[in-house]
Amino acid sequence: MVTVKCIDEAVKLIEKYEPVAVINVGQAGGRVELSIEKVAINVKDYRIPDNEGNQIRYAPVVEGGPDAYFATIPVEKIADSLVEKVIPASVSYTAGTYCCNEVFYGVSHYLRNNKPGVLNGFIHIPFILEQAAGAKPPRASMPLEVIVKGLEIAVEVVAEGLEK
């Protein structure tokens, strides 16, 4: 399934580059700000099919896995730093039950069991302007350069914490 492929690809990159922190990023149409996710839950419940047509309902991300994983990046500090720099952001307590949550949970599970010292988190981004232009009904969006700046700030905040 497409999301398992995403987890597998993320794991390959983690193995190749051996990062000290991982920030997963996914798009959530309808969000009006950068959402710094606090929790990944062990639930797959797709209200719509994924990119390969799979519509998984009421299943665990990892059979027998814990109910949830909390982000280990400084979620609140990232959100506060973004708002201080006039980038719309907030802490979110649900990554949903679709592909993004599955990746967040799957990567968290892998790291916890294989690389427990690696920090991990997830940030949802809104549509960019080009995706929302002309949509009926209107869609929330954010300029790409603002999203990029926000992600750069998130990385800086995580890096600052690692230096201490």
Q: What is the pTM of this model?
A: 0.92
3-state secondary structure 8-60: HHHHHHHHHHCCCEEEEEEECCCCCCEEEECEEECCECCCCCCCCCCCCCCEC
Q: How confident is the model at residue 3, as a pLDDT? A: 56
Please report which confidence band the pLDDT of residue 70 belongs to, taking 50, 70 and 90 as the band edges: very high
pLDDT in tens, 81-114: 999 999 999 999 988 877 899 999 999 999 999 9
Residues with Cβ within 8 Å of residue 48, at least 6 apart in sequence: 55, 98
Q: How confident is the model at residue 49, as a pLDDT? A: 77
Give me the catalytic one of 6, 33, 99, 124.
124
Q: How confident is the model at residue 48, as a pLDDT? A: 80
Can you tell me the distance from the alpha carbon of 5 to that of 81, in angstroms, rounded to the nearest whole number?
33
Q: Does residue 15 carry a catalytic annotation?
A: no
Task: List, in order of start, the domains of the chain with CATH numbers.
Answer: 2-163 (3.40.630.20)
CB 129 within 8 A of CB 142: yes
Helix H or strand E segment including 157: helix 144-163
Q: How confident is the model at residue 98, as a pLDDT? A: 76
Give me the catalytic one of 6, 33, 99, 100.
100
Q: How confident is the model at residue 57, as a pLDDT? A: 84
Give me the catalytic one of 37, 99, 102, 109.
37
Q: How confident is the model at residue 97, as a pLDDT? A: 79
pLDDT in tens, 120-142: 999 999 999 999 998 888 899 99
Q: What angle do CA 12, 113, 5 make, to 5 degrees?
A: 35
Q: What tokens does 52 get?
A: 């390969």
pLDDT in tens, 1-53: 445 788 899 999 999 999 999 999 999 988 999 999 999 999 988 888 777 77
